[in-house]
Chains A and B, each alone.
Chain A
Amino acid sequence: MRARTSVSPIVGALAMLSLAGQWAPVVAQDLQNSMVDIAYVEPNEPEYRPIYERLKKRQVLEELQQFLVPLRLPRKVLVQVEQCNKETQRYTEGGPVTICYQYIHELEKFAEKIPADTRTARGVSREDAVVGGFVQVVLNGMSQAVFDILEVPVWGREEDAADKLAGFLMLQFGTDSARRLLNGAAFFFEASDRTWTGSDFADTRGTEAQRFYNYLCVAYGGDPKAFKDFVESAGTGMRPGQPAERRIDLLPQRRAERCHTEYNDLQYAFNQTIMPFVDQAALQKVLARRDWLRSDDGK
């Protein structure tokens, strides 16, 4: 067994979760972040204009800045939302972190598969799907930027590492927020109808199904009690008491058994490589704020 330090999970680093969040002026003054630049780039396509307006009004990127305050970055990074020429724009060395309006548009379309005011069998609402999916893509991109800027040694595929760090951070903001975020993030991958064949597997990213299970595994590994409903009952592929016609994908037992170890490894990696760059006093301030997610986020 590997030796582990029992540092508390900190997420703070990223509180980036900031997707939502009421803006508290006091916190804003307290937590100045000069190393994260942000930009809302106006889209050319009118179709994306409403998304641009909503993100700007919600001050999503300003919140992200606040969340990142505890992280002592040695150089600046730009985080922007903009219209790309494809759905996603992969982070490359030096940045910026770019979130594409196209991706958010796609996310919202997927979320509409969930009828308004209902939840999926796993408990995902349309709003959760939007919020969780958005936070996932932001945290994934920021994680890659952090790996780059802090020169973090990353074993394993970088995209998987970024997903795992994103999931780890989502877990640090209390059970309710974590459930909304992780469930929502997983939904986006679960709902994908992409079929992989041949050279599709040369992709730098894992398949949607692999990423879906990875997020569930981080959640279950980090808090087995709160997320026990993410695991199928032995041999059935169903959650306890679930009617057969409502069968849903859950973590198979075989993978679930390993999730706690996987989570410990993840926490250990975070504590060893990123925590040394986290300002503990600022972190406490970020963690003290529990309203990063609002009930109406994602509507």
Chain B
Amino acid sequence: MIRCRVYSAVLALVMLGAPAAGNPASAQAAQSSAPIEIEYVPPAKQYLRPVYERLKQRKVLEQLRDFLSPLRLPVTLRIRTLQCDDTNAYWAGRVEGLKLCYEYVDWVERLAPAETTPEGFTPQDAIAGEFVEVTLHEMGHAVFDLFNVPIFGREEDAADQMAGFIMLQFGQDVALRTISGTAYTYQQQAKQSNWSRTTFADEHETDEQRFYNYLCLAYGAQPATFQRFVDSNILPAKRAANCGREYRQIQRAFLKTIMPHVDQEVMKKVQAMQMLRPDDGIIKRDYAQ
């Protein structure tokens, strides 16, 4: 058995702002208007079993549910982790709900670097940050749907903006870890992608564009925290000059279209919760030989 790095399912929550597990009072206070149903569906494939066990043990979905509790949901929200036979995650509509695939989590873990990269991306953040990103991105699609949010631009970009915006609302540490992990993932995917002309017809932007978009939103929100990405020219100065404006655009969109559906009192309780614990993102994991 090889002891490897871990993964913070929790992280998931992190972002999700979930209250610390084992805090019944806060969790209870954070009940939403319509229920959120969660389920860890056991995978049939054995190699996904450890992922399933870790997510369950870490109570990722319980924390996600609490994190989402300030939302005044119009209908029951169903959230599942499951084997999808596809490396992905989905907002599958109001009936099927949010599907987080074990295959995607497994892929993220394997994509993580063995050690901290020259850009400063750590293995732990690569795993935790991307898990948070994919969860928030799909939750973005969910809230756009559930609250009938008007979207002028491209919805896939909007879901990235939603994910990035939320990552940036929980302080410097959470912002840096989640954005860095996300940036690492898109950087790596970009190296593996081969875009031809017709693939630009895709509704998603290229991995390179998503890499820069996340960094730009982060720099626009917290310039001091992310200054090093500009200093090292990872985020070009020309783009960086526009990032404050881009962040304000998303902030305005969030305040106008999402905030009316948020219970302010419950949100304050959620915001007061500890989002990331020092050991989050570092769960011991054993890989079978």
Contact = CB atoms under 8 A, between A and B. Distances in A.
Q: Do A and B bind each other?
A: yes
Given A151-B252, A155-B161, A202-B238, A251 B201 contact: yes
A266 B152 contact: yes
Contact of B198 (A164, A165, A252): A252
Contacts of B106: none
Interface centre among B154, B235, B255 (most CB of A within 10 A): B154
Contact of B150 (A206, A210, A252, A269): A269
A156 B203 CA distance: 12
Contacts of A199: 212, 236
Contacts of B213: 157
Interface in A1-18: 1-3
A213 B151 contact: no
Chain A: number of interface residues, binned into ranges = 35 or more
Contact of B151 (A249, A251, A258, A265): A265
B253 interface: yes
Nearest to B237: A202
A293 B255 CA distance: 40
Contacts of B198: 237, 249, 252
Interface in B230-273: 235-236, 238-239, 242, 245-246, 249-250, 252-253, 255-257
B204 to A, nearest CB: 10
B203 A154 contact: no
A272 B152 CA distance: 10
Contact of B197 (A154, A249, A265, A268): A249
A25 interface: no
Nearest to A268: B150
Chain B: number of interface residues, binned into ranges = 35 or more
B152 A206 contact: no
B73 to A, nearest CB: 15
Interface string A195-214: 00011011110110110111
Interface string B278-289: 000000000000
A210 B203 CA distance: 9
A152 interface: yes
Q: Is the interface of B mostly helix, strand, loop or mixed?
A: helix
Contact of A155 (B152, B212, B216): B152
Given A201-B212, A251-B201, A252-B198, A3 B236 contact: no
A153 B205 contact: no
B206 interface: yes
Given A252-B198, A255-B201, A160 B212 contact: no
Given A249-B197, A252-B198, A156 B154 contact: yes
A264 B155 CA distance: 12
B40 interface: no
Contacts of B249: 154, 158
Interface in B96-145: 144-145
Interface centre among A3, A270, A272 (most CB of B within 10 A): A272
Contact of A153 (B150, B211, B235): B150
B86 interface: no
Interface in A256-275: 258, 262, 265-266, 268-270, 272-273
B150 to A, nearest CB: 4
A69 B268 CA distance: 44
A269 B152 contact: yes
Contacts of B252: 151, 153-154
A161 interface: yes
A209 B236 contact: no
A85 B150 CA distance: 36
Nearest to B140: A155
Contacts of B161: 155-156
10 contacts: A154-B152, A155-B149, A155-B150, A155-B157, A155-B158, A155-B250, A157-B157, A202-B212, A249-B198, A252-B201
Given A2-B145, A155-B149, 13 more contacts: A155-B151, A155-B153, A155-B157, A155-B158, A161-B153, A202-B208, A202-B238, A209-B197, A237-B198, A254-B202, A262-B203, A265-B155, A270-B152
